[in-house]
Amino acid sequence: MPTHRRIDVSKVGDVTVVTFLDKKILDETGIQELGAELFSLVEQDNRRSLLLDFADVDFLSSAALGKLITLDRKVKSAQGRLKMCNIKPEILEVFQITKLNKVFDIRAGEAEAIAAF
């Protein structure tokens, strides 16, 4: 199991739950590392059901949103499913403004999101 610097990974049944270790996902280096760690879950570890838990994230840059869109494509092309939960209102607003709330399956809490798989 690879060590991750930007995310914490756990399993609940068949679902891989990813929590973010950074409160602010802003700097380019951190976003590149985050993207690589998330993509490896799908590409190397063959994870098919991913739940991204944003409980500890206070800020997300547009570059980070780009990584999430790419991750969504990778998961879908692997016949997997990606869901998100615990997104703070100010971040959710960004998802709504960019219409990404229509692209991503966003649930209120972890239990609800896991049940939706």
Q: What is the pLDDT of residues 43-70, one digit of tens each?
A: 999 999 999 999 999 999 999 999 999 9
Q: Right CATH number for 7-115 from 1.20.58.220, 3.40.50.300, 3.30.750.24, 3.40.50.620?
A: 3.30.750.24
Q: State the pTM of this model.
A: 0.96
Q: Residue 83: what pLDDT? A: 98
Is the pLDDT assigned to residue 30 strictly greater than 70?
A: yes
Integer angstrom CA distances of residue 15 from 28, 111, 117: 28, 11, 8
Is the pLDDT assigned to residue 2 strictly greater than 80?
A: no
- Per the CB < 8 A criterion, the answer to whether 51 and 106 are in contact is no
Region 77-97: what's the mean pLDDT?
Answer: 96
Alpha carbons 107 and 86: distance in angstroms, whole number:
7
